[in-house]
Amino acid sequence: MKLLAARTPASFVAFDLLALDDEDFTGRPFLERRGVLEQVLANSAAPVHLTAATRDRATAGQWFRQFEGAGLDGIVAKPLDGRYQQDKRVMFKVKHERTADCVLAGYRVHTSGPDRIGSLLLGLYADDGSLANVGVVGAFPMARRKELFEELQPLVTDFENHPWAWANQEEGTRTPRNARAAAGVAGRTCPSPRCVPNGCWK
């Protein structure tokens, strides 16, 4: 254990207080829980840390912009009067978002039927002219899935002349489409320019 701790040191970052000794804090508002947590960790030192928090909107905005470069995907906002609720998300994640015009290169059908879109296959052209696969978009209401399927039928093609001819082996699950039109999508930031994580249709 000591060897592992030396090779891969770990840090503990506290962001909430649910209990202290035998006292239950889950029914108390977050503002009170945070205040007690700050008192408990007032003299803490590495590797134990207290996560930064502010009630100042300008400071929160600065953190939102500043820490994007460190690879963080946003900030978390919590209601000051919020009680802890087990297995429920009562906080708000404010994430960085970028938009991009991607090539709509194909689709997969939905598990509910062959006439509904399950996900759209997205691509971006690289400098060498190849069409790179950058992700999928699949969060659509059921009615919209059927509408999209009908809208895309005139553009359906085969794999023979498609930039993703390599996908022919998956022809049963992927349907290629004419790779000339673009689709507007948004997603959280990603270290790689060739991915659209958690993308959504715009």
Mean pLDDT over the full length of the chain: 81
Q: Do 79 and 68 fall within a single domain?
A: yes
**Per residue in 133-174, pLDDT tens?**
888 888 889 999 999 999 888 888 776 666 665 554 444 455
Alpha-carbon gap, residue 173 to 51, rounded angstroms: 45
Which token pair is 96? 């960085």
Q: Do 125 and 82 fall within a single domain?
A: no
Tally of structural domains, the chain: 2
Q: Do 179 and 137 fall within a single domain?
A: yes
Start-to-end CA span in the chain (Å)? 50
Q: Do 122 and 87 fall within a single domain?
A: no
Q: Do 115 and 195 fall within a single domain?
A: yes
Give me the CATH number covering residue 153.
2.40.50.140
Q: What mean pLDDT do residues 44-70 have?
A: 92
**Per residue in 86-100, pLDDT tens?**
988 889 999 887 777
**Which is higher by pLDDT, 159 or 181?**
159
Q: Do 49 and 132 fall within a single domain?
A: no
Q: Do 126 and 82 fall within a single domain?
A: no
Would 3 be classed as within a structural domain? no
With 60 as the cut, is the pLDDT of residue 188 above it? no
Which token pair is 84? 């802890």
Q: Do 115 and 76 fall within a single domain?
A: no
Give me the CATH number covering residue 52.
3.30.470.30
With 70 as the cut, is the pLDDT of residue 175 above it? no
Q: Do 109 and 164 fall within a single domain?
A: yes
With 50 as the cut, is the pLDDT of residue 194 above it? no
Q: What mean pLDDT do residues 53-72 have?
A: 90
The domain in which residue 110 lies consists of: 98-201
